[in-house]
């Protein structure tokens, strides 16, 4: 299974560190089927772009990441994270910024203990994560 969530280099070292699924110990429901599969994972110093769509304070599954398992507004799955992000361009100006309806709902998940579960202090606003748009 190929997964394509959007990740960010938060520590500025020029790369996003990841751990293979064989070495991560993370189980996450990437494909939104209520079953957490063993997964490769982003390093603790980097982050995932997320949107808590059901506003429950968790990142439940791959539909709340920006990748090929994100459900678009038309009901289809995105081909990749960039298509998923483009779907939030509510004013159709070709960019995502504070003029878009869900801009303030975009967050960065920095999984500081690399366990695949959203813990207190791991969900950052774009500004807190140093992301400027």
Do residues 3 and 39 lie in contact, with contact meaning Cβ atoms separated by under 8 Å? yes
Dihedral sign, CA of 33, 120, 124, 8? Answer: negative
- Statement: residue 58 has pLDDT above 90: yes
Mean pLDDT, range 90-103, rounded to an integer: 94
Bridge partners of 51?
Answer: 106
Task: Quote the CA–CA distance of 122 and 120 in Å, as a whole number.
Answer: 6
Higher pLDDT residue, 1 or 65? 65
Mean pLDDT, range 105-109, rounded to an integer: 96
- Statement: residue 2 has pLDDT above 90: no
Structure tokens at 37: 């599969």
Q: pTM higher than 0.85, yes or no?
A: yes
**What is the domain extent for residue 1?**
1-133
Number of domains within the chain: 1
Structure tokens at 20: 């293979």
């Amino acid at each position: 299974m190929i997964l394509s969530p959007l990740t960010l280099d938060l520590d500025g070292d020029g790369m996003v560190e990841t751990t293979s699924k064989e070495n991560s110990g993370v189980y996450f429901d990437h494909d939104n089927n209520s079953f957490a599969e063993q997964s490769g994972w982003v390093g603790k110093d980097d982050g995932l772009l997320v949107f808590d769509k059901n506003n429950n304070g968790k990142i439940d599954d791959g539909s709340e990441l920006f990748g090929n398992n994100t459900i678009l507004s038309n009901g289809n799955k995105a081909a990749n994270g960039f298509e998923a992000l483009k779907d939030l361009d509510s004013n159709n100006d070709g960019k995502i910024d504070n003029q878009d309806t869900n801009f303030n709902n975009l967050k960065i998940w920095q999984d500081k203990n690399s366990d695949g579960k959203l813990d207190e202090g791991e969900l950052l606003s774009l500004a807190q994560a140093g992301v400027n748009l």
